[in-house]
Structure 1
């Protein structure tokens, strides 16, 4: 997957506010996506990021029980956003199976979930001393692009 530089920067900007738990600034950052094509590209990138991080964390696709547990962890961690554990679980299942998000979720919910899940996954991964979630994101994006 080739990552568009402009979309990547907008995604990183919005993820920053997710990690900082600043709902108003996150909402404002979503306005930086000027058209449907950039919003679609952002969702595709966020899905790829989430899938990569999950598969890496579980050394493969997690079991149904592990997905349920992960959904609970993410919903609790992101309780400052209007999302529920069942929504997070539906999103995770769609990400892992490659199902279209629209089949499972309302479009606005899918956008918030995409950013919330990716941000939560990136921020919760243990990093070497002196590294932050965005350093890990650099590695994830490089792997996504290398995979084609």
Structure 2
């Protein structure tokens, strides 16, 4: 899949907002995108989360590992955003590995916000020691394009 430059820019700005722990900036990141572009941005964010989870847990993540990761994300991000219950976040992580984030127990707006917050956390937490988060993101975009 060819990465749309405008949509990619919105997702990148959303990650900057997450890393800065700036909720207003996060909410504004998708301003100006039409509905199709916003849906594409969410698909990009899902790919990022799924890619990183698969990269971290190369043999597949267990429920316990995803719960532990969800706990770490909640502990890190809870001072500025409510990510809901650990179980729901762990399910979101698992769902992202399949590319399908339909979560019946979580409101759609919360799923979208959560997938962006989770992506920002994962980009900064699981990049290589000498790598900047945006360079890791560039590698993920390249993998997305290569996957078609």
TM-score by length of 2: 0.89
Kindly report the root-mean-square deviation, in angstroms, between the aligned alpha carbons of the 2 structures: 1.6
Listed one character per residue, the Cα deviations across residues 34-65 of structure 1 (whole Å, up to 9, x for unaligned) are: 22101110111111111111101111321111
Aligned to 1:47: 46
TM-score by length of 1: 0.89
2: distance between equivalents of 1:69 and 1:55? Answer: 15
The aligned runs of 1:1-40 (5 Å cut-off) are: 1-32=1-32, 34-40=33-39
Change (3 A) 1:141 1:77: same
Instruction: Give the gaps of 5 or more residues in structure 2.
Output: none
2: distance between equivalents of 1:101 and 1:51? Answer: 14
1: distance between equivalents of 2:127 and 2:62? Answer: 21
Give the number of equivalent residue pairs. 146
Pairing 1:125–2:129 present: no
Instruction: Give the gaps of 5 or more residues in structure 1.
Output: none
Give 1:83 shift: 1.1
